[in-house]
């Protein structure tokens, strides 16, 4: 951007955040469709692409597009930190009054942003998109997604909307509130419910990925599920208490039954096999619960160490040297990290 740009031009009304991990196949189409939709709305906008350590040509493609369109801004991570942290960085840097988070693969139609803005103008501060239909996804993905949403809904204390992904619009006030949440293992959809404010969902048809493959293999999905559960529920911890009471009651009953059967001359519960089975069973249960405690403990450890959530190698389009505009134009950056301007 050149220094003649006026302050009004500088601070966008709409920010769209897109996490990018190996998305070279979709970037041009993403920019084309997004620009068409946002230009149609007629407010100043910025497209904040967070390059999450892509190994392909995504970064050079983004920078080439930025040469033609300065409204496209690029935050380049020093390595892959994951989609949730890419969204976090986008929200730390985004300057708009309304901030939209969307996937790069065009499964979520950018055209829905208009409808989201209409709800926002009605006074809703979070407008999340609910998937009415998911095309082109494997049966496995559909089943695991459905189990995931149901489980989460049952065991968490926060009302996390079912079948809503990352695609949502948030008012600046919500974004400012969410910037204060600096936990490491984050589940952004849960956090955006947790902060409260006036929320509403709108339905949409989820399309197929425009190009490329999913960047969420099973292990990443499992990790996200664990982060979601541990962030919003103590039930896995309590399970060990419940199970302990249950097993203690059962073994009391076992003692009574054994004593009675022995007294009546019955030869029940003799031999090593039953002892071995009981010991192995209990050993297994104890290890499972140790593992569950470990999941929580590791997350506490990560948070206590308080390393930065992500490292930006370079931010393109932020921190302009010319700072004559009002304070609103300077992005608040709670990560405390100020990369050089481009
Ligand atoms: N993504 C990312 N970092 C990662 C994995 C994914 O930034 O480590 C981005 C990816 O580029 C895409 C979004 O997260 O914009 C969602 O990924 P994808 O569409 O592959 O997930 P799916 O829709 O298959 O669950
Ligand atoms: Mg996708």
Q: Ligand 1, closest atom to CA 212? A: 20
Tell me the CA–centroid distance for residue 199 and ligand 1, in Å: 24
Tell me the CA–centroid distance for residue 52 and ligand 1, in Å: 10
Residue nearest to atom 25 of ligand 1 (CA): 216
Tell me the CA–centroid distance for residue 214 and ligand 2, in Å: 6
According to the model, what pLDDT value does residue 324 have?
A: 42
According to the model, what pLDDT value does residue 320 have?
A: 58
Tell me the CA–centroid distance for residue 213 and ligand 1, in Å: 9
Tell me the CA–centroid distance for residue 309 and ligand 2, in Å: 23
According to the model, what pLDDT value does residue 4 have?
A: 44
According to the model, what pLDDT value does residue 269 have?
A: 63
Contacts of 82 by beta carbon, 8 Å cutoff, 6+ apart: 52, 220
According to the model, what pLDDT value does residue 34 have?
A: 95
Contacts of 195 by beta carbon, 8 Å cutoff, 6+ apart: 174, 177, 178, 181
Long-range contacts of 329-335 (CB under 8 A, 24+ apart): 329/7, 329/10, 329/11, 329/95, 331/92, 331/93, 331/94, 331/95, 332/92, 332/176, 332/179, 333/92, 333/93, 334/92, 334/179, 334/180, 334/182, 335/89, 335/92, 335/308, 335/309, 335/310
CB 218 within 8 A of CB 228: no
Pocket-testing residue among 103, 107, 206, 207, ligand 1, by greatest number of atoms within 8 A of Cβ:
103
Ligand nearest to the CA of 141: 1
CB 170 within 8 A of CB 99: yes
According to the model, what pLDDT value does residue 330 have?
A: 42
Ligand nearest to the CA of 107: 2
**Fold exhibited by the domain 14-233+311-329:** Spore Coat Polysaccharide Biosynthesis Protein SpsA; Chain A (3.90.550)
According to the model, what pLDDT value does residue 165 have?
A: 87
Residue nearest to atom 13 of ligand 1 (CA): 103
Rounded to whole angstroms, how far apart are CA atoms 101 and 167? Answer: 5
Task: Identify the residues whose C-beta falls under 6 Å from ligand 1.
Answer: 19-21, 23, 52, 80, 82-83, 86, 103-105, 107, 214-216
SS (H, E, C) the chain: CCCCCCHHHHCCCEEEEEEECCCCCCHHHHHHHHHHHHHHHCCCEEEEEEECCCCCCHHHHHHHHHHHCCCEEEEEECCCCCHHHHHHHHHHHCCCCEEEECCCCCCCCCCHHHHHHHHHHHCCCEEEEEEEEECCCCHHHHHHHHHHHHHHHHHCCCCCCCCEEEEEEEEHHHHHHHHCCCCCCCCHHHHHHHCCCCEEEEEEEECCCCCCCCCCCHHHHHHHHHHHHHHHCCHHHHHHHHHHHHHHHHHHHHHHHHHHHHHCCCCCCCCHHHHHHHHHHHHHHHHHHHHHHHHHHHHHHHHHHCCCCCCEEEEECCCCCCCCCCHHHCCCCCCCCCCCCC
Domain residue limits, the chain: 14-233+311-329, 235-305
Closest to 89 in 3D by CA, of 325, 312, 247? 312
Q: Ligand 1, closest atom to CA 52? A: 7
pLDDT tens digits for the chain (342 residues)?
444 444 445 689 999 999 999 999 999 999 999 999 999 998 999 999 999 999 999 999 999 999 999 999 999 999 999 999 999 999 999 999 999 999 999 999 999 999 999 999 999 999 999 988 766 677 787 788 788 888 888 888 788 888 888 999 999 999 999 999 999 999 999 999 999 999 999 998 888 878 888 888 888 888 988 999 999 999 999 999 998 899 889 988 988 888 888 888 776 666 777 788 888 888 998 999 999 999 999 999 999 998 999 999 999 988 654 444 443 444 445 454 444 444
Q: Ligand 1, closest atom to CA 86? A: 7
């Amino acid at each position: 951007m050149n220094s003649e740009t006026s302050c009004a031009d500088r601070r966008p009304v709409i920010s769209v955040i897109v996490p990018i991990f190996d998305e070279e196949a979709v970037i041009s189409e993403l920019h084309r469709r997004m620009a068409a939709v946002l230009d149609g709305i007629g407010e100043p906008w910025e497209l904040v692409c967070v390059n999450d350590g892509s190994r392909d040509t995504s970064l050079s493609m983004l920078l080439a597009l930025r040469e033609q369109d300065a409204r496209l801004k690029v935050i380049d991570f020093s390595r892959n930190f994951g989609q949730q942290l890419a969204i976090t960085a986008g929200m730390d840097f985004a300057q708009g009054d309304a901030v939209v988070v969307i996937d790069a693969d065009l499964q979520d139609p950018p055209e829905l942003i208009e409808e989201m803005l209409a709800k926002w103008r009605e006074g809703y501060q979070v407008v999340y998109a609910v998937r009415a239909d998911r095309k082109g996804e494997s049966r496995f993905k559909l089943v695991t997604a459905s189990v995931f949403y149901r489980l989460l809904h049952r065991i968490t204390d926060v009302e996390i909307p079912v079948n809503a992904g990352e695609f949502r619009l948030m008012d600046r006030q919500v974004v400012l509130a969410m910037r204060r949440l600096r936990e490491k293992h984050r589940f952004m959809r849960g956090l955006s419910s947790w902060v409260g404010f006036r929320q509403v969902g709108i339905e949409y048809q989820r399309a197929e990925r425009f190009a490329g493959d999913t960047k969420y293999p099973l292990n990443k999905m499992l990790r996200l599920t664990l982060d979601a559960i541990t962030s919003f529920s103590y039930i896995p911890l309590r399970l060990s208490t419940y199970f302990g009471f249950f097993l203690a009651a059962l073994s009391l009953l076992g003692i009574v039954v054994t004593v009675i059967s022995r007294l009546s001359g019955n030869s029940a519960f003799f031999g090593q096999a039953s002892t071995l089975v009981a010991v192995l069973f209990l050993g297994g249960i104890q290890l499972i619960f140790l593992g569950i405690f470990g999941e929580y403990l590791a997350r506490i450890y990560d948070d206590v160490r308080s390393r930065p959530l992500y490292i930006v190698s370079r931010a393109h389009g932020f921190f302009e040297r010319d700072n004559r505009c009002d304070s609103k134009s300077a992005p608040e950056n709670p990560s405390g990290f100020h990369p050089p301007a481009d």
